[in-house]
Each structure stands twice: as C-alpha cells, then as structure tokens.
Amino acid sequence: QVQLVESGGGLVQAGGSLRLSCAASGRTFSSMAWFRQAPGKEREFVAAITWSGGSTYVEDSVKGRFTISRDNAKNTMALQMNSLKPEDTAVYYCAGRLINAGSYHYWGQGTQVTVSS
C-alpha cells in the first residue's frame, strides 16, 4: 500500500520559517511535489522535484523563499519555507508520481500552515 504522510506544519508569524516533511512508503516515486489549498480556493502547485534531485520546479510566488529537496535513501521529501507571508496560509499536501505516469496519483493527508500578520 502506497502512503504519503506530511508533517511539520504549524503556526508562525510573518517572516518566519517552517520545514515540511513528507515520508513515503510502499513505492519509489519518479517525482514528488508539494501542493497547497487555501480556504475557499482551488488546490495549487507549489514545487516539484525529480528522483535525481537534479531538476526542481518552484511556483513563481514562492521562488526564492521555498526550497524543495528529497532524500532517496530515506524516501522522504522536504519543503523549506522561509520569509513566510500570510498568503502562504494553506493546507499543504505531499504528492507522488510513478515513473511514466502523467499526473500525481498519490497524496498525503495534508498539514496545516498558518502564517499570522
């Protein structure tokens, strides 16, 4: 059974930092990503990383503030979030994609990130 479990969310003041982690089990993913969903809004892409770690993709609104990484030996992924803004408040989801798959089919339960002004 494939499972993804996020952790590290919480409440932080604007300008602060948080580090999210995603632990994967059951499969090895060719790519992994972070998405987020704010109240009343659609889920949006945040960042993604390939198996090799050589290619990363970061959404423009968080570029320069967020860094994505993965540890293949531990099958984990992390999102370092710095200079947080109130608009970053959302539930953050970990997602995984198998090799040759066209989309992300596996999702974690989500972890809440709240940034106060």
CB contact at 8 A, 49 and 56: yes
What percent helix, strand, coil does the chain show, rounded to 5?
5, 55, 45
What are the pLDDT tens digits along the chain (117 aa)?
889 999 999 999 999 999 999 999 988 889 999 999 999 999 999 999 998 777 999 999 999 999 999 998 899 999 999 999 999 999 999 999 998 888 999 999 999 999 999
> Three-class SS of residue 47?
strand
Q: Which helix (H) or strand (E) holds 27?
A: none
Give pLDDT, residue 22: 97
Instruction: Provide the residue type at 21 as one letter.
Output: S
In 3D, which of 106, 104, 95 has the Cα closest to residue 20?
Answer: 95
Give pLDDT, residue 104: 94
Instruction: Provide the residue type at 47 as one letter.
Output: A
What residues have CB less than 8 Å from 105, skipping those under 6 apart?
96, 97, 98
Give pLDDT, residue 99: 86
Give pLDDT, residue 1: 85
Tens digits of residue pLDDT in 19-49: 999 999 988 889 999 999 999 999 999 999 9
> Three-class SS of residue 87?
helix
